[in-house]
């Protein structure tokens, strides 16, 4: 999850910059890539719920924050619990 969120963040930052500077060609490339990253984050978040790694709050935070920020916050919060399941 963290790797996908970091890659999606790496796509989101230049996407926002390109959007603000009216670089339509770059937005047309980065937009769909960021969208695929967001869908991958949602898939992994819901997969974690079905595999009982975490609760429904994790996909909710990913959706509310629109992706990478929520995924990184959730991953950081869960990392100690996942490393030591006892």
Residue range 24-69, pLDDT digits in tens = 999 999 999 988 988 888 898 889 889 887 778 777 877 777 677 7
The two counts, helices (H) then strands (E), for the chain are: 4, 0
Burial category of 53 from C-beta neighbours within 10 Å (exposed 0-12, middle 13-18, buried 19 and up):
middle
CA 26 – CA 18 distance, rounded (Å): 6
Decide if pLDDT at 20 tops 90: yes
End-to-end CA distance of the chain, in Å?
21
- Supply the mean pLDDT for the chain: 80
Residues whose CB is less than 8 angstroms from the CB of residue 59 and which lie 6 or more positions away in sequence, other chains included: 42, 45, 46, 49
Quote the pLDDT of residue 85: 52
């Amino acid at each position: 999850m963290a790797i996908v969120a970091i890659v999606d963040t790496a796509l989101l930052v230049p996407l926002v910059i390109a959007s603000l500077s009216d670089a339509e060609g770059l937005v047309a490339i980065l937009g769909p890539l960021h969208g695929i990253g967001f869908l991958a984050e949602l898939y992994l978040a819901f997969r974690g719920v079905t595999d009982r790694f975490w609760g429904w709050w994790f996909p909710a935070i990913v959706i509310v924050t629109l992706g990478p920020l929520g995924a990184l916050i959730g991953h950081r919060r869960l990392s100690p619990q996942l490393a030591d399941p006892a």
